[in-house]
Amino acid sequence: MTAQTLEAPKTSSPGAIKQFAARHASVLPTLAAIVILVIVLIGAQVEFGNFLTARNMSALLLDNAYLMVLAVGMTFVIVTGGIDLSVGSVMAFTGILGSSMLASGTPVWIVIPAMLGGGAAIGTLIGVLVQYFNVQPFIASLAGLFLGRGLAYVVSLSSVRVENEGILWLQTTRFYLGDWYITPTGIIALLVVAIGAITMAWTRFGRTVYAIGGSEQSARLMGLSVARTKVAVYVISGLCGGLAGLLLTAYSGAGYPRNGIGTELDVIACVVIGGTLLTGGRGYVLGSMIGVFVFGTIKTIISFMGAEQSWTHIIVGALLLLFIVVQRAIVARSDRNT
């Protein structure tokens, strides 16, 4: 299932639909996510009447920019069949690291590379443990989670305000197009999604990532650079964690060591809802973006309703369940076919 045919069927007879479903089994979960997103958006519009506004939709990207960056990194890891639990605490660590460095007068051009480097370093550690020491990704990234969270508190026990204009510019600047606006943080998030999607779809590295997820053994026998790629996906995820730390710091105007507790679960949920298979081998970066939008929309709807924010996680948990059951059915069917 690595090769995907790109032409869409023109006819809409039942046979064609079946054929489409059989041929594009790996796209189906992502299509389902888009359908859910559309249903949720239309439902909210019907219910509230003023939901689908330019302001609201722009805010959706703004509020979830950091989540989107994390989801891109996580997609790489999950497609290889791994998992990265460390992203939330890496984000907290790099965020507080950056804000403390700024507070002590370090120039921005040192701070931002340091934040990205800090994230990438933790990612490298996880990748090396996974690849060279046969540690399960779950446990290796668990060590990363502890390390990131602990280091965040080592840097500072309380929140540190950011007064650097360069960082705050990322959040406060708004480029308007009619009523729509986008902030530099939103642009960064979309850029990361674009780079991630292009890398996964059209580069040798991306093909290798899919191949490892499909069958690591086969990938190795084919002579692909499995070891390098497997370490690299964790480095990418760590790097995304560092970038998310920057975006979140800009968004909240402060670094806080308790940021991102439980974010790793939200990210995994978004990626799965976006149609990436947790067993690896199938998934799309664009799907993860849709997953983040679904998550963000649910969050917005709940605050519109004025209900408890705890409902967000209950609904996302239910959606997650729905998607993994659907995925299991799809995998079971395509296993029968092949």
Residues that bind another protein (CB under 8 A): 83, 125, 129, 132-136, 138-140, 142-147, 149-151, 153-154, 157, 257, 261, 265-266, 268-269, 272, 278-279, 308, 310-314, 316-318, 320-321, 324-325, 328
Which residue's CB is nearer to another protein, number 156 or number 252?
A: 156
- Cα 288 to Cα 82: distance, rounded to the nearest angstrom: 16
Contacts of 145 (CB under 8 A, 6+ apart): 85, 86, 88, 89, 264
Which residue's CB is nearer to another protein, number 61 or number 71?
A: 71
CB 130 within 8 A of CB 144: no
Which residue's CB is nearer to another protein, number 45 or number 156?
A: 156
Q: Kindly state the smallest distance separating residue 156's Cβ from another protein, in Å.
A: 10
Q: Kindly state the smallest distance separating residue 324's Cβ from another protein, in Å.
A: 5
Q: Kindly state the smallest distance separating residue 246's Cβ from another protein, in Å.
A: 22
Burial of 81 (0-12, 13-18, 19+ CB in 10 A): buried
For helices 184-202 and 65-79, what crossing angle results, to 10°?
20
Which residue's CB is nearer to another protein, number 122 or number 182?
A: 122
Q: Kindly state the smallest distance separating residue 144's Cβ from another protein, in Å.
A: 7
Tally of CB atoms within 10 A around 135: 16
Q: Kindly state the smallest distance separating residue 308's Cβ from another protein, in Å.
A: 6
Query: What Cα–Cα distance (Å) separates residue 323 from each residue in 31, 210, 282, 319?
Result: 12, 21, 14, 6
Q: Kindly state the smallest distance separating residue 154's Cβ from another protein, in Å.
A: 5
Which residue's CB is nearer to another protein, number 61 or number 78?
A: 78
CB 304 within 8 A of CB 59: no
Classify residue 13 by its DSSP letter: S
b/e string for 156-184 if b means 16 or more Cβ within 10 A? beebbebebeebeebbeeeeeeeeebbbb
Q: Kindly state the smallest distance separating residue 135's Cβ from another protein, in Å.
A: 5
Which residue's CB is nearer to another protein, number 91 or number 269?
A: 269
Q: Kindly state the smallest distance separating residue 93's Cβ from another protein, in Å.
A: 10
Query: What Cα–Cα distance (Å) separates residue 80 from each residue in 24, 185, 276, 297?
Result: 20, 28, 11, 28
Indicate the helix (H) or strand (E) that contains 180. Answer: strand 180-182
Which residue's CB is nearer to another protein, number 74 or number 197?
A: 74
Which residue's CB is nearer to another protein, number 141 or number 249?
A: 141
- The position carrying tokens 């609904």 is 315
Q: Kindly state the smallest distance separating residue 262's Cβ from another protein, in Å.
A: 8
Q: Name which of 20, 155, 166, 146 is nearest 86 in CA terms.
A: 146
Which residue's CB is nearer to another protein, number 247 or number 316?
A: 316
